[in-house]
Amino acid sequence: MNIAVTGLNATDNPGPGVPVIRSLKEVKEISGNIIGLVYDPLEPGIYLENLADKCYQIPYPSSGLENLFNRISLINEIEKIDLIIPTLDSELYGFVKLQDKLRGIGIKTFLPTFEQLNIRGKDKLFDFCKENGIKVPKNILVASAQELYKIPDQFGYPVVIKGIFYEAYIANNFDEAHSAFNKLSYKWGFPIIVQEFVKGDEFNVVALGDGKGKTIGAVAMRKLYITDKGKGWSGVTIDEPNILSVSHKVIEKTKWRSGMELEFIKDSITNEYYLLEINPRFPAWVYLAPSAGQNLPYALVKLANEESVPQFDSYEIGKIFVRCSWDLITDIKIFERITVKGEN
């Protein structure tokens, strides 16, 4: 198979593309090319040796889905792509809209439905959790700075101010909430989510659903180090039945089709777990899963091929990932090729 993967940015807020490709590269059964689809000529994954066999620049979905489809069609004439794995939240709606057209030119996908994407949205998650008996912090949606005055009526400071797609800030007072609101609304639009702050340790689960309610696999980890952007820079696999059970429940109730990440926090006072977010794709730490015994990206490839995939029943506890910064030294000719020709 020739498999195309997006999200090759590997900065302080890394995309999942590089670890997805690393997971697939470990599988001897995949003998075709891995094609990187990038939005920016400086995405670090372009310059990593022995990662993607070929990289192509594609337009952002926001520039028009017809432009995106035409570019992928052109790349497909050269590379004969069998499967595309989009890995970024902000591009998923576009690829879901294009999946029938992509299928028409021989390219498979394995994506959530519009309904599934909407159910887990940051503005809808609270209602979904309440309906299904899942603990979740209180939140309100605001579409203007004036509405921030509601915060003391709902819950006290500190609160978490979240963008509709990415980023979150802890605000200890109205001024900090207002500043975060301005930053996030300018960058991601509305609504802005104001969430009750729960203090405690953070836990994540990476999982894969088959689209029929079955969990193919799920690996839980505890964050050991968190950046100022809230990203896990180090983590360790753990055996935690409580959050794994919630993950199975979410996949069962939504009939989730694709990879996902579930973010939890364990209240330092009550020791109860709260579900904070559901991200509709594999996380940037997904390479920990195959390292612990569950190669979920490869399982997704098999599901996309309509192959029978058995459920993983265990994984290795105590596997740690530690992310690092690494300067890639290369020739400017590579940058020029991707900038001028759109490929390397």
Q: Are residues 39 and 98 in the same domain?
A: yes
Domain-located, residue 244? yes
**Residue 227 confidence (pLDDT):** 83
Task: Specify the pLDDT at position 26.
Answer: 92
Residue 120 lies in a domain: no
Any idea of the CA torsion for 265, 268, 272, 276, to the nearest 10 degrees?
A: -20
185 plus 221 within the same structural domain: no
Is there a single domain that holds both residue 272 and residue 301? yes
Q: What is the pLDDT of residue 168?
A: 85
Kindly state whether residue 115 falls inside one of the protein's structural domains. Answer: no
DSSP state of 39: S
Range(s) of the domain holding residue 235: 199-322
User: How sure is the predictor about 189, in pLDDT bands with cuts at 50, 70 and 90?
Assistant: confident
In this structure, are 150 and 179 located in the same domain? Answer: yes
Q: What is the pLDDT of residues 146-164, one digit of tens each?
A: 899 888 888 889 999 988 8
> Which residue type does 205 have?
V
**Residue 76: band (very low, low, confident or very high) from pLDDT cuts 50, 70, 90:** very high
Same domain, residue pair 181 and 213: no
pLDDT of residue 183: 92
191-246 confidence digits (pLDDT tens):
899 999 999 999 999 999 999 999 999 999 999 998 877 778 999 999 999 999 99
Examine residue 130 and state whether it is found in any structural domain, yes or no: no
Asked whether residue 293 is domain-assigned, the answer is yes
Within a domain: residue 310?
yes
pLDDT at 228: 77
Is a pLDDT exceeding 80 seen at residue 297?
yes
pLDDT at 253: 96
pTM (global) more than 0.75: yes
Q: How confident is the model at residue 173 (pLDDT cuts 50, 70, 90)?
A: very high
Same domain? 145 vs 240: no
Mean pLDDT of 311-328: 94
| Mean pLDDT, rounded, of the chain | 93
Predicted local confidence at residue 231, as pLDDT: 79
In the listed set 154, 171, 196, which residue is the last one of a domain according to the structure? Answer: 196
Q: Tell me the C-alpha distance between 43 and 48, whole Å.
A: 10
| 4 burial level (CB within 10 Å; 0-12, 13-18, 19+) | buried
pLDDT in tens, 33-58: 999 999 999 999 999 999 999 999 99
Do 80 and 186 lie in one domain? The reply is no
> The domain that contains 54 carries what CATH number?
3.40.50.20
The CA distance from 59 to 245, in Å, is: 39
Mean pLDDT score, 1-12: 93
> What is the C-alpha separation between 269 and 246, in angstroms, rounded?
20
End-to-end CA separation in angstroms for the chain? 20
- Phi, psi angle pair for 220, to nearest 5°: -105, 145
**Same domain (yes/no): 161, 240:** no
**246-268 average pLDDT score:** 96
pLDDT of residue 198: 93
- Residue at 61 is within a domain: yes
Give residue 60's pLDDT.
Answer: 87
DSSP state at residue 87: -
- Do 332 and 296 sit in the same domain of this protein? no
Domain assignment of residue 128, yes or no: no
Domain harbouring 168, CATH code: 3.30.1490.20
Query: What is the mean pLDDT of the segment spanning 166-188?
Result: 90
Which of 93-107, 125-139, 153-167 is the least confident region? 153-167
CATH of the domain at 245: 3.30.470.20
- Angle between helix axes 17-25 and 296-304 (nearest 10 degrees) is 80
**Confidence at residue 10, expressed as pLDDT on a 0 to 100 scale:** 86
Percentage of residues of the chain with pLDDT beyond 90: 78
Query: 3-class DSSP state for residue 21?
Result: helix
Domains contained in the chain, number: 3
